[in-house]
Structure 1
Amino acid sequence: MSFENKMVAIINKEVDIGVAMNAVAHASIAMGGRVGTDALQIAQYKDASDNLWPISAIPYIILRGKSSEIRKAITQAKEQNVQQITFLETMTGGGYIEQMDRTALLPEEPLVYFAAVLFGPWDAVSQITKKLSLYK
């Protein structure tokens, strides 16, 4: 089956797994809220006991890269109007108000990218992420 859109997470390979999972979870929730259930093609899996297990039918590829590579992917996504969500180092520690204040104090250049999620046309997302490795 071919898909019109592709969703990819890029995780900073220098970040501990727990922090990385938190970053991807937050960015994924934000992306889901932005694009909605129809775009994510939420399928209703049903087991023999009639329990429903909703999950996106779209493949979700998890890649890894350095902060600079995530920044480059985000820049390219913006240029190509590909949906993108970023999770920054400033978005950790303390409450979300403190995190927002901390982020507001810094220009873009010194920000450390912990994760990003891209969603958009299959070919565009593939082109942006083609040099990144699978997260293992």
Structure 2
Amino acid sequence: MSTLPDETQKRFIAVLTKKMDLGRTLNVLGHLSVGLSDQLKESEACYVDYQDMDDGVHPHLSHYSIIPLFHYPFIVLKADNSNKLRKMREEAINRDIKFTDFTSTMIEGGSIEQQQRTKQTKEADLEYLGVCLFGGTETLREFTKKFCLYK
């Protein structure tokens, strides 16, 4: 077994607007998670396979440790509105933090239609539904600490 990285150094944080129903919220979170994971190099995140007693494999889950609870925690927070998500996105860009975002232009139709609709919308007019980040724990805390846990 290889040496696993220190679980306190980095984390995933997703911040979602509280103005969505549960189904839409889960859909947005799924898209954000997959998009962000695709950006990460193998050296940045650590995934492990779990094996059950029957030799069944439960593949590629984020490594965690019992102490302190999670390896790279995945924290889900809520934002009051799109503008707060926009500011967080800008902060991620300014700090060169890996992120992905999801806007209302990405909801209806297929991805080609969604891309066209997004292309025809000024950034200031985009309604952000969620942003997902991966980076150093302390750096992310500096600008996400004002958000509450999503419950």
Per the normalisation by structure 1, the TM-score is 0.93
Counterpart Cα distance in 2 of 1:43 and 1:85: 23
User: Using the alignment, how far apart are the partners of 1:3 and 1:51 within structure 2?
Assistant: 30
Is 2:73 aligned against 1:72?
Answer: no
Q: Which amino acid aligns with 2:140?
A: V
Amino acid at match of 2:38: G
Give the one of 36, 41, 46 matched to 1:41. Answer: 46
Among 62, 70, 85, the residue aligned to 1:56: 62
- CA distances 1:7-28 after superposition (whole Å, capped 9, x unpaired): 1111110011111111111111
- Which amino acid in 2 is paired with 1:64? K
Q: Mean alpha-carbon deviation: is it higher for 126-135 or for 32-41?
A: 32-41
8 Å Cα contact 1:9-1:60 kept in structure 2: yes
Shift of 1:52: 2.1
Residue 38 of structure 2 corresponds to residue 24 of structure 1: no
**Residue ranges of structure 2 left out of the alignment (5+ in a row):** 1-5, 64-71
Identity %: 29
The partner residue of 2:135 within 102, 120, 129 is 120
Q: Aligned partners of 2:27 and 2:42: how far apart in 1?
A: 21
CA distance, structure 2, for counterparts of residue 129 and residue 30 of structure 1: 20
Q: How does 1:86-125 map to 2 (within 5 A)?
A: 86-125=101-140
SS of the residue aligned with 2:141? Answer: helix
Structure 1 residues 44-81: Cα deviation after superposition (integer angstroms, max 9, x where no partner): 22222222223102210011102111111111111111
Equivalent residue letter for 1:135: Y
Instruction: Structure 1: state its 5+ residue gaps.
Output: none
- In structure 1, what is the Cα distance between the partners aligned to 2:21 and 2:39? 27
Q: RMSD in angstroms over aligned alpha carbons?
A: 1.3
Normalising by structure 2, what TM-score? 0.84
Amino acid in structure 1 at the alignment position of 2:54? S
Aligned residues: 136
Structure-2 residue corresponding to 1:15: 20
State the partner residue of 2:144. Answer: 129
What letter matches 2:62 in structure 1? S
